[in-house]
Structure 1
Amino acid sequence: MNLSPSRLAAGAASVTVVLWASAFVSIRSAGAAYSPGALALGRLLAGAVALGALCLLRREGWPPRAAWRGIAISGVLWFGFYMVVLNWGEQQVDAGTAALVVNTGPLLIALLGARLLGDALPPRLLAGLAVSFAGAVTVGLSMSGEGGSSVLGVVLCLLAAVGYAVGVVAQKPALAHASAAQVTAFGCLIGAVGCLPFAGQLVHEAARAPASATLNMVYLGVFPTALAFTTWAYALSRTTASRMGATTYAVPALVVLMSWLVLGEVPGVLTLAGGVLCLAGVAVSRSRPRRAGRETPALAERRREPAS
């Protein structure tokens, strides 16, 4: 059975959000043994190796020259800067503040996409973004602890959201010239090169880290990075940046579910309500207006009549 391009894109987006949600569970283990920069570098190196092997198997060459600007910007800001700053910022703020600030990313993508890429902002998309954002904040607030927040942490999370949004918007034009595998592989490699100053920390911490933390770091590189960023790029090449950004609001709901199933953390009523809001907003943002009813035979006949 042949699947339509729209169904394939929807399937690719689903793979992305599931794997990105699973990353939060793995980061809890790896983040306890690795500092933010070392964790980002280790994750990107594992991802670059996996993506390099994929490109060799598919005989993917160098991306065309026209794609390099978008690849470089997304590599520096999304693969490199975003991962380091987000790891650092989430150590400084509670979950509620992180949800509020970081989840402005899809909203920024919608605004930048409309301004720079000419993406449409239909009412359903805007409504879905608003509902999902409310759900993400609800999930974060309900799961926040007593850690408190700092001005530095808020600034870091805001910078992470901006880096994420600009990286996504820059990646979109590159996909018109290069394949999803090329854009992802070289973006990941650029991000890894940018994180090389943390190489000394990575070597030092890897020597002392438990095997479970290192395996989780490798998992983050192979699946939530190499695979999920490739399926993301594939889906992004077939829809607007705004709609793809809205799709990521399914991640908080899936994190709640995975934490329940994997870590045994039973969510409260408020957390579940927030998760439902996230999914409802995604559904609204991805929906399309109903088509008008069929034409009556009389109207169809009048359409075919030549103008007088």
Structure 2
Amino acid sequence: MTNSSHPARSSQRLALGAVGISVVLWASAFVSIRSAGAAYSPGALALGRLLAGTAVLGAVLVFRREGLPPRAAWPGIAVSGLLWFGLYMVVLNWGEQQVDAGTAAMVVNIGPILIALLSARFLGERLPPRLVAGMGVSFTGAVAVGLSMSGDGGASVLGVALCLLAAVTYAAGVVAQKPALHHGSALQVTFFGCLVGAVACLPFTGQLVSDAADAPLKATLNMVYLGVFPTALAFTTWAYALARTTAGRMGATTYVVPALVVLMSWLILDEVPGWLTLVGGALCLTGVAVSRSRPRTTSGSGCVSAPADGPTVEPESVG
């Protein structure tokens, strides 16, 4: 084992910790959206969340004295800002008002599969067998969780279409963000992406002002929470990790979210999960473990080495 492998392993651990923060905070967002979404319309909630996130990220950017990202980073920032920060948040909020949480979870969880396919097509990333197998197991678990959470009523066609659009915009946004991180820092890419999304949602300003005047304090605080933690912090730690591994593996990691939502709903909302929910959550975690695992092979010299399809650790982004 050479000394040069230690920085790479350290970077992998930091990236894993960063994505862990992201998935925990994104899981907590489902609990907060329940409160805020009852008082705020989809566009108003998205705008309020993005404004809060932009304010926090902007303050950190100024404190760290990070200026504008290089010109080469802007195409990815613009696309991810419009699709992931802007359109995704609006249509997901809207879709969850049309269908039950279980249906929304099942449809939106197509996103990681789309990320893997799009990153293979546009970023040249490979689809290792373990990644494909792990995603299949996790998606099965997400479907099980979704079925266990589904209500008795039928899902509206509009709601399913909106959740599907959310999955597509989420996947496209992640794939667009990846090249930007070769040129700009995680903080730069996240702040300016969040800013682009906020600007795109400015037409909802009137709704935000009107809803805020009538909304209970708890709903408004939940909206601010969504902006500060699941947006500002979680999207930054996500970008940090994405810069150091493949988009496909990052997408597969988000299958931890359904399992965490089940746990948080149990602990915070006192919603006792059924057996199908628990099985689905366990499958989600198992699939993520499989997708992130690396088969170890013995080289001719007797040393253990990782295969070519293992997760890559890329150079830190500029800035």
Give TM-score scaled by structure 1 length: 0.94
**Cα shift at 1:295:** 4.3
Classify the secondary structure of the residue corresponding to 1:91. helix
1:129 has 2:135 as partner = yes
Superposition RMSD in Å: 1.4
For 1:94 and 1:32, the matched residues in 2 are separated by 14
Deviations 1:32-65 (CA, angstroms, capped at 9, x unpaired): 1101100000000000000001101111100110
1:291 equivalenced with 2:303 (yes/no): no
Amino acid at match of 2:207: Q
Residue 273 of structure 1 aligns with which residue?
279
1:30 counterpart residue number: 36
Cα displacement string for residues 116-164 of structure 1 (whole angstroms, at most 9, x for unaligned residues):
0011101000000000001011101101112421111111111111100
Q: Determine if the alignment matches structure 1 residue 196 to structure 2 residue 202.
A: yes
Deviation at 1:293, TM superposition (A): 6.5
1:96 maps to: 102
Which position in structure 2 is the counterpart of 1:78? 84
Runs of 4+ in 1 over 6 A off after TM superposition: none
CA–CA separation in structure 1 for the residues paired with 2:219 and 2:297: 51
After TM superposition, the structure 1 = structure 2 runs for residues 70-219 of structure 1, keeping only pairs within 5 Å, are: 70-219=76-225
Is the contact between residue 94 and residue 146 of structure 1 (CA under 8 Å) also seen in structure 2?
no
C-alpha contact (below 8 Å) 1:30/1:217 kept by paired residues: yes
Secondary structure of the structure 2 residue equivalent to 1:63: coil
Q: Which runs of 5+ in 1 are unaligned?
A: 298-308
Letter in 2 for 1:93: V
**1:49 is aligned to 2:55:** yes
Letter in 2 for 1:136: A
Structure 1 counterpart of 2:55, which letter? V
> How many angstroms apart in 2 are the aligned matches of 1:111 and 1:273?
27
What do the CA deviations read for 1:185-204 (whole angstroms, capped 9, x no partner)?
A: 00000000000111000000
Distance 1:146 1:208 in 2: 31
Question: Equivalents in 2 of 1:115, 1:263: separation in Å?
Answer: 41
Bigger Rg, which one: 1
How far the C-alpha of 1:27 sits from its partner, in A, is 0.5
* TM-score normalised over the length of structure 2: 0.91
Q: Which amino acid aligns with 1:198?
A: F
CA distance in 2, matches of 1:91, 1:178: 36
The AA in structure 1 aligned to 2:44 is: A
Give the C-alpha shift of residue 169 in structure 1. 0.2
Q: Which residue of 2 aligns with 1:58?
A: 64
Equivalenced residues, count: 296
Instruction: In structure 1, give the amino acid aligned to 2:157.
Output: V
Q: CA deviation at 1:292?
A: 2.2
Are 2:225 and 1:257 aligned?
Answer: no
Structure 1 letter corresponding to 2:225: Y
- Taking the aligned partners of 1:284 and 1:85, their CA distance within structure 2 comes to 31
Identity between Structure 1 and Structure 2 (%): 78
Report the CA distance between 1:296 and its aligned residue. Answer: 6.5
* Residues 95 and 141 in structure 1, CA contact (< 8 A), matched pair in contact too: no
